[in-house]
Each structure stands twice: as C-alpha cells, then as structure tokens.
Chains A and B, each alone.
Chain A
Amino acid sequence: MSEGIDDEGIHFEDDHETSNSADDMLIIDEHVEVAPCWRCGKAFDTAILICPYCRASRVIRYKEPYRKSATNAETGSISLLMWLYAGMLASLIFIGAIVRLDPNKNPVADEAIAIVVAIAIVEIFDAILVVIGCVKARPTLNPWWKGYRRAALAWLGGAVMLAAMLAINIWYHDFLKIQLKLPEDGSGLKSLKDFPFLVIVLLCLQPAVFEELFFRYLALGHFRSVMGVHGAVWISSLMFGLAHLGAPLSMPILILLGVFLGYARVSGGTLLLPMVMHFFHNYTVFRLEGVL
C-alpha cells in the first residue's frame, strides 16, 4: 500500500499492490491462459505456438536435449558431416594418386602388399573420421524403433532383398564386363587372395561397421531432422555410392545398395540390420570374385 499528496494537494492512498511472486505473475489476465515453456520454463499465452523467449515450439516432436538454438545445432552438425565426407574423398584421392593399379600386370607379392597397405590407411583414416563424427555430431534421437514385430519382418524381408541385390549386382557387373570388354580382374583385388583375414577385416567388417555408422547413423539421422525420410534415405545413399571412388563404374549399383540398406535401417529400427547385410553382401561378392 502506498500513499502521498497529488498535484492538487489532495492526500491519496493507493492500495494497489504490485507483486513479484511467480504465482501471481501466472495470471496476467483472467481470460488468457498461460503455461510454462517445456524448454526454458517461462510462462506465456497458450494460444501462441512459439515461445517468445527461446523460440521452442509448443508441439514437441522428439525428446531432444536442450540446445541454445536447434537450427544452429543442425546446420553445424550437417556442416561437420560434409567436412568429414570431404575428408573421406580426399583420402581416396591421395591414396589413388600414389597407388596405380595396372590390371594387365601379373599380380606379384609386393604389389599385393602395397594394395593392402593403401586400403588399410584409407580404412583407418575413415574410421577416425567416423569416430569424430559420432562424438561431435550425434544426431537427435529419431523414433526409428517401431516394435519387435516390425523388426522381425524387416530382418526376414531384408534377407530376401539382400539375395535380390546380390543378383542385380552380379548381373550388372557381368553386363559391364561384356559390353565394355573389361579385363577379368580390373580392380586388382584378386592379388589379395593370400590375405583372407585382412580382406575380411578391411573389406567386409570395417565397411559394415564404419560405413554404416557414417551413412545410416550420422548422415541418415541428421538429414531426417531436416527433410522427409525418403529424401534422407536417398541422399545418404547418394553419398554412400559416390564415396566409392575406387570403383566408379559400380557407383549406380552401390547407390541402389545404399537405398536398400537405408530402408532396412528405417524399417528395422536398428543399425545392426544394415551392418549385417552390408557384411554379408561384401563377403559374398568377394567370395564370388575369387578374392576369398
């Protein structure tokens, strides 16, 4: 309560009390309902869908951790993703410029060792990049998991689709060999058949783990937060296929394989499914080519 004398010399008493208590501030107008923001905790009109303090939406789509600015975090993560991708491509250029494979030469032991060393360097470098991505730019948790029944169907369907993908892959490469009259072992990988353990680790296991982590976890996860699921699958598959610079003629079929693995990840709700399928795909291909 306050009191005083106004300009006309009349004594007045003012019993209007201002209050700073939180409870009182919740009721600004008896006709307006307010509620606190889920992110910053400050109360505002429920008719307003965007918090005027932190710009969070009233509608919560995902359970996301608090971020200073969701948009900045997403663009920063996607920028990091592109840098890591550019790093992968650069490593392939570097190694490719150093190691030149001549398919007409008979494979000799020291050339096979050179190929193994080159592949190992690239794979280790890529693994480091993927680990950096997983640590620095984990995507927002996406609700991929849709239950055990859906996952079981995805695993069964995935096995059938894997067989179909392998058949398409083999047919495509045979078609190319016939049409372009390519040599039998154009890649020079048959010289690695004396190193089966290294082939399995470097060309089957490492891609199954780290490539899936990068393309189906990082890339797919981040793209899903800024576009629809189909766009995210296709663009991450495009990145996957184009990353195989050492086999440019195989890029179309690898993009298709990436699409298959991407939808396997989305349908199955787990990263394990595309990892297992990627491993078996590579293992089967190298076995059929006589490398294993």
Chain B
Amino acid sequence: MSRLTSLGEGPNQLGSLAQSARMKHMNQAKWTLIIIGVLTALLNGFMLAQSQKEVDDLIRAGQLGAADAGTVLGLVRVIYGGALALGVVFIILGALVNRFPVPTTIAGLVLYLASTALFMLLDPSSIAKGIVIKVIIIYGLVRAVNAAIAYKKESSLRTGFKPPSPGLGADL
C-alpha cells in the first residue's frame, strides 16, 4: 500500500483544500512584503538623494548650526540608507516566501514590527499616521506566519518520513 494512496482519500481531500487556503494567505503575504519593500525603497531612496538639500534648508532656516551639519547629515543618511536597505530586504523576503515560507514570513513580521516601532520612536507624531493600514498589514503577516507553519507541517507529513525501524510497532 503506497503512502500517497493512504493519504489521498477521504478526509485528506479536505487537507488539500486547507493547503490551498494556506497558499493563498502566503501569496497575500508575499505581495504585501514586495509592495511594502518597493514603496519603502523608493521613498527612502528619494529622501536619501535629497538629504543634503534637507540639511541645507535647516541651516538656512536657522534651525541647525553649521558646526552640527556634518553629524546631522551623517545621521540622516544612515537613517534613510538603513530604511532603503530594509525595503530591499522586504522585497527579497517576499520573493522567497514560496521557497522558505516559515522563516521569511516570521522575519518579515519581525522586521515590520521593529521598523514601525523604530520610526514611531524617532517621530512620535507618526504613531497615529496610517495606524489602520499598519494594523491590517500586521494582521495579514501574522495570518501568513500561521498559514506557513501549518502548510509546512502538512507538507512534511504528506511527503512522509523514513520508514520506521523494525520493531517500532512491536515496542509500542
């Protein structure tokens, strides 16, 4: 009796439907991560290119001394550069969701939570901005993590393990 035959009847058809639903959640997470990554990379890439102009505007407005301009410019470039790199990481994670569902979805969720928290800390006025969208994204990523774990478990069960050693059944 083949393993696949024994697993492909009756209640296991429901398992296939569940796997399809999980794939759908993971695909949603994949495109969510890619879109977040593209938007983050584009926006922060633009801001990085404009950072020198931004610092010059602050000096002209008298809000920044010339002596501190170097430090502020360096920090601004680090922040925007870091955010740009984060956007690229999101795109890579989204592209790899189908290949490594569990690590990529968990890493995507962790990075999104932490980056959102960091930008809220740097600019407390941004806490309320886009809060609904942030909550929706986090909810979608959490659902994707659960779906990825269940999908991986189900897949590993379906592909089977090594045959049990002789006497395993007798010992039990």
Contacts and interface: CB of A to CB of B under 8 A. Distances in A.
Q: Do A and B bind each other?
A: yes
Interface of A: 33-38, 45-50, 55, 57-59, 70-71, 74-75, 78-79, 82, 85-86, 89-90, 92-93, 96-97, 179-182, 223, 226-227, 231, 235, 238-239, 242-243, 245, 248-249
Contact of A49 (B3, B103, B114, B145): B3
Contacts of B114: 89, 239, 242-243, 245
Contacts of B150: 71, 75
A96 B123 CA distance: 10
Given A93-B127, A180-B78, A181-B74, A57 B161 contact: yes
A245 B110 contact: no
Contact of B121 (A36, A223, A245, A249): A245
28 contacts: A47-B1, A49-B163, A50-B7, A57-B161, A58-B164, A58-B168, A59-B161, A70-B153, A71-B149, A71-B154, A75-B150, A78-B146, A79-B145, A79-B146, A85-B113, A89-B113, A90-B117, A93-B117, A93-B127, A180-B71, A180-B75, A180-B78, A226-B153, A235-B107, A235-B110, A238-B107, A238-B111, A242-B114
Given A33-B169, A238-B107, A49 B161 contact: yes
B89 to A, nearest CB: 10
Nearest to A238: B110
Interface string B136-171: 000000100110011011100100111110001110
A204 B142 CA distance: 32
B164 A78 contact: no
Nearest to A88: B117
Contacts of A181: 70-71, 74
B23 interface: no
Interface string B76-111: 001000000000000000000000101100110111
B153 A71 contact: yes
B81 to A, nearest CB: 12
Given A47-B1, A55-B157, A180-B78, A82 B164 contact: no
